[in-house]
Amino acid sequence: MALVVVIEDERDLLDLLEYHLGKEGYETFGSVTIRPVEKLLEEELPDLMIVDRNLPGVEGSEFVRKLRKEGVDIPVIFLSAKTSDKEIEEGFLRGGDDYMSKPFNIRELLLRVKAILRRSGAEDSERVLYRDILLKPKSREVFVGARPVELTKLEFELLLALLKNRNRILSRVELIEMVWQGEEGVQERTVNVAINRLKEKIDPQKCKNYIKPIRGVGYKIC
């Protein structure tokens, strides 16, 4: 399920957008200000953002320009009453992928959302998203935030197994079955070594603590 962030300072319009996006099967995160979205981006990588430009505290396109400078490449649709040629050009130059003028047709907006998500691969049912980790099993790509991470085949399968079973603890024996497919000679300490290598790659600063060891049992994503 694609996650669409909506930043719109008119509460009624925000509710309307979330309602229609929800009907289309998208998960939504709506806010009338930038601050909650900044906090969300510390933990998760949304698939698309719909951003008004007239926001309290900060202009919407300036917020997007800041994200682009930080390397965040989430697709953005500007939805704005700023409709002059100069203002529309400004929106694209600051990092927008699409631009719709208010008042707008909700059906057209939904079609544009679908088109952008299709092009970005976000509608691929094989995608696995957790916090700010994104896995694409088909292409075997891994991203932590906006940063691509190179994993070996074994490390990829190990992370995928943990993410797909995020609500429970996986024992070392289970991980050997899932990742090494019961290969002979693989011991429990082999799992420990592989987990440590994986943690080094996805959390080199050791500040996010994605994988928690459960003493005497195994590991859990957190």
pLDDT per position in the chain (222 positions), as tens? 689 999 999 999 999 999 999 888 888 999 999 999 999 988 778 899 999 999 998 999 999 999 999 888 899 999 999 999 999 999 999 999 999 999 999 999 999 999 998 887 666 556 787 888 888 887 888 999 878 999 999 999 999 989 888 778 899 998 998 888 877 788 888 999 999 999 999 999 888 889 999 988 899 988
Rounded to whole angstroms, the Cα distance separating 77 from 110 reads 11
Closest listed residue to residue 104, CA positions, set 50, 23, 28, 29: 50
Peptide bond into 103 cis (omega under 30): yes
CATH 1.10.10.10 applies to domain 128-221: yes
Three-state DSSP state, 78: strand
Using the CB atoms, write b or e for 40-76: b if 16+ within 10 Å. Answer: bbeebbbbbbbbbbebeeebbbebbbebbeeebebbb
pTM, two decimal places: 0.58
Would you tell me the crossing angle of helices 153-164 and 188-202 to the nearest 10 degrees?
90
Task: Please write the tens of the pLDDT for every residue from 35-54.
Answer: 999 999 887 788 999 999 99
CATH number assigned to the domain covering 3-120: 3.40.50.2300
Output the six-digit token pair for 11: 């509460």
